[in-house]
Amino acid sequence: MRAVKYGTTREYVRSMTVVLPDGEVTKFGATVSKTSSGYSLLNLIIGSEGTLGIITELTLKLLPAPQATVSLMAPFEDLAACISTVPKIFQHHFQPQALEFFEKEILVSSEKYLGKETFPKKIEGKDVGAYLLITFDGDSMDEVNNIVEKASEMLLEEGALDILVADTAPKLKDIWAARSSFLDGINEQFKLVDECDVVVPVSKIAPYVEYVSQIKGKFDFEVKYFGHAGDGNLHIYTCSNEMQKDEFRKQSDEFLSAIYKKSMEFGGQISGEHGIGFGKVHYLEQALGPVNIGLMKSIKKAFDPKQILNPGKVVVL
Amino acid sequence: MNILVCVKQVPDTNEIKIDPVTNTLVREGVPSIVNPFDGYALEAAARIKDNAPDTRIVVLSMGPKQAEAALRDCLAIAADKAYLASDRAFGGSDTLATSYILSRAIAKVEELEGVKFDAIFCGKQAIDGDTAQVGPELAEQLHYPQVTYGLEASLASDGLHVLREAEDGNEVIGVQLPCLVTFTKPSFDPRFPTIKRKMAARKAQITSITAADLKNLDVTRAGLKGSPTNVKRTFVPPRKQAGVIVKEQTVEASAHRLYELLNKAHVI
């Protein structure tokens, strides 16, 4: 969630000890703040999903925890108005720590799962269609309050129906609990669920979501989505109770192939967080093409010629 | 309708620091919040206002200058106006002295507001002192009927209807106005402040009330001097270990098992 401001864990890994498939123990990286010393084997291992070596020790860079944190909940009439605001938050240099978007429907199932209603569904007679959830942090409450006020002004101008503020520990907990239970809410509601976590450039979130909502009507399952609006990472779920498993699988494949293809067209990637594993091997091949997949296979061969580590995952030789 | 909500700023921790000399709370350096039960009282008032928009909600706190922060939080959530009763003469008050000062301060607020409050709402207790005495004592000082352990309150033709938590369920009590109600945790959470209210609250004027402002204040009934409670020692109670429930298939087996356990513990 906090990658918007602080980047992903990858950026905090300084060095690691790795056991290679042939039993050699080696160290990649160093505890220095910059390096220009050959290929970054460190970055090659991060995200390799255990297919190149086994990490036995990690050195991470640490940051002091922020002194003040405030979250804002901004309800909008519809998703289009909600998402189109996201790039403007960055244009104004508000530097949010986290920035999430979701529609009312998924919130309702999550609140039902938690047995607690936190978010307003109607504001001054207007139905809420979608929400932005934004967190700002800083060294003092005054500093954060100044950003919060400026950001709120902008959000209200852009069509937010109101701005609710969470600046105490219990309110912060409540406001994020509903967001954290989206997946639990989906899993409780549906027997068949498949998902993807595509990532697109922030400026492309709106047209991408529009594309997904256009094509979802062609399929028999329901499609639910929410996402880290701040980094363009979207979680899209296909869900059904009525479909036969094989038919669900077949249609899900077709749907996922289409939306992966679209994400690549928009300059995105097929996974922002979850990785490739077994499930997305053939989608990765389609997405990256023969040249890049060829290089990845060569890397796999160089590290693990006998294919003893996580065979069949990420790239298949 | 005019509602006054009494709030207290409390330390946001279970490990409260105590001044070893005066045996009173040291509030400096500990993050402070609005006492959660007072937050429920404010929410109950706000819900009445949702249905009767001409309701005016006034908050009153007794405490040092920094308690203004708690009052600003209340303004951001639902209060229309805030008053702070603050004076060295009030320091060290026990629940009796506090309820006495609050009763005098309420009279002053009523004079300044030009109204008589229809209802006084309080939290059932503060999470620091945990006495649950100030609300009921204040009702006695004011000679008002009181309802304790309120969950929700609604305006009715004959006064307030208060849903209250009882030992074996909930009950609705009708009470005539003016009255005092203390509130406990309801099933819902208090509302979030909106940014507009928050910004207005940051700039709001909080009216200070001192001992000199209170008519007929008997100073011998205020502060440490006016407090018959004598705190001998304050300590954090040790955590109790979880008990053991002996539940075997039969009563006889349970008795045997209990005997084994007691014997093993060298109790019998």
B198 inside domain:
yes
Answer whether residue B234 is part of any domain. Answer: no
pLDDT score for A198: 94
Contact list, A156 vs chain B (CB under 8 Å): 195
pLDDT at B242: 83
Integer CA distances (angstroms), A48 to A51, A276, A277, in order: 6, 9, 10
Q: Does B188 sit within 8 Å of A164, measured CB to CB? A: no
The minimal CB distance from B194 to the residues A162, A169, A174 is found for A162
Number of domains in chain B: 2
- pLDDT value of position A124: 85
The Cα–Cα gap between B73 and A254 comes to 52
- Chain B residues in contact with A168 by the CB 8 A cut-off are 33, 73
Which chain B residues touch A172 with a CB distance below 8 Å? none
Please name the residue of chain A whose CA is at the shortest distance from the CA of residue B50: A124
Pairwise CB contact (< 8 Å): A165 & B33: no
CB atoms within 10 A of CB B267: 7
Q: Is the dihedral of CA A214, A219, A225, A231 positive or negative?
A: negative
Based on the domain organization, do B116 and B29 belong to the same domain? yes
**Which residues of A, range 45-84, sit inside 8 Å of B by Cβ?**
72-73
Q: Which residues contact B53 (CB under 8 A, 6 or more apart)?
A: none
Q: Where in chain A is the domain with CATH 3.30.465.10?
A: 3-63+276-303
pLDDT at B241: 82
Mind listing the pLDDT tens digit for each residue in A109-122? Answer: 888 888 888 888 98
**Is residue B226 in some structural domain?**
no
Same domain (yes/no): B185, B244? no
Q: What are phi and psi of A86, to 5 degrees?
A: -55, -55
Spatial CA neighbour of A233 closest among A257, A261, A209: A209
Which percentage of chain A shows pLDDT scores above 90?
Answer: 68
| Same domain for B40 and B13 | yes
- All CATH 3.30.70.2190 domain ranges in chain A, comma separated: 68-180
Q: Is A149 exposed, middle or buried (0-12, 13-18, 19+ CB in 10 A)?
A: middle
| CATH number of the structural domain spanning residue B122 | 3.40.50.620
On whether residue B187 sits in a domain, the answer given is yes
pLDDT of residue A116: 82
Q: For residues A289 and A296, give the distance between their C-alpha atoms in angstroms, rounded to a whole number.
A: 11
Q: Are residues B212 and B244 in the same domain?
A: no
| Confidence tier at A131 by pLDDT (50, 70, 90) | very high
State the architecture of A68-180 in CATH terms.
Answer: 2-Layer Sandwich (3.30)
pLDDT tens track for A219-248 = 999 999 888 888 899 999 999 999 999 999
| Angstrom distance (rounded) from CA A190 to CA B76 | 40
Is A68 a residue whose pLDDT tops 60? yes
Q: What's the pLDDT at B173?
A: 96
> Minimal Cα distance from B34: which residue of A?
A168
Kindly determine whether residue A72 and residue B36, on different chains, have CB atoms separated by under 8 Å: no
Are the C-beta atoms of B120 and B6 separated by less than 8 Å? yes
Residue B207 and residue B106 share a domain: yes
| pLDDT in the model for residue A27 | 97
Whether omega for the bond prior to residue B190 falls within 30 degrees of 0, making it cis, is no
Instruction: Name residues of chain B where pLDDT drops below 50.
Output: 15
**Shared domain check, B260 and B141:** no
Chain A interface includes B36 (CB < 8 A): yes
Contacts of A171 in chain B (CB under 8 A): 192
First to last CA, chain B: 65
- Shared-domain flag, residues B104 and B182: yes
Interface predicted TM-score (ipTM): 0.76
**Record: contact A165-B198, CB cut-off 8 A:** yes
DSSP B29: T
Q: Looking at the domain assignment, is residue B215 inside a domain? A: yes
**pLDDT score for B69:** 93
B128 in the same domain as B259: no
Residues B140 and B264 in one domain: no
Q: How far is A165 from chain B (nearest CA, A)?
A: 5
Check if CATH label 3.40.50.1470 holds for domain A3-63+276-303.
no
pTM given for the model: 0.80
Query: How many whole angstroms separate alpha carbon B132 and alpha carbon A300?
Result: 68
B104 within a domain of the structure (yes/no):
yes
Instruction: Report pLDDT for A169.
Output: 82
- Say how many C-beta atoms besides its own lie within 10 A of residue B209's C-beta: 21
Q: Which of residues 187-246 of B touch A (CB under 8 A)?
A: 188-189, 192-196, 198-199, 202
Residue A289: pLDDT band with limits 50, 70, 90:
very high
Residue range(s) in chain A whose domain bears CATH number 3.30.70.2740: 190-265
What per-residue confidence (pLDDT) applies to B236? 66
In Å, how far is B193's CA from the nearest CA of chain A? Answer: 5
Asked if residue B261 and residue B191 are part of one domain, the reply reads: no
Asked whether the beta carbons of residue A149 and residue B189 sit closer than 8 angstroms, the reply is: no
**Pairwise CB contact (< 8 Å): B195 & A145:** no
- CATH architecture observed for domain A190-265: 2-Layer Sandwich (3.30)
Contact B194 A166 (CB under 8 A): no
Query: What pLDDT is stored for residue A278 in this prediction?
Result: 92
Lowest-confidence range among A132-136, A174-178, B134-138, B249-253? Answer: A174-178
Q: What is the span of the domain harbouring residue B268?
A: 239-268
Residues B155 and B262 both lie in one domain: no
Rg (CA), chain A: 22
Residues B44 and B105 in one domain: yes
With a cut of 80, say whether residue A249 has pLDDT above it: yes
Q: Of A89-103, A219-233, A276-290, B44-58, where does the model show the most confidence?
A: B44-58
Q: Tell me the residues of chain B between 61 and 120 that have a Cβ less than 8 Å away from chain A.
A: 73, 76
Name every chain A residue with its beta carbon within 8 A of the beta carbon of B193: 164-165, 167
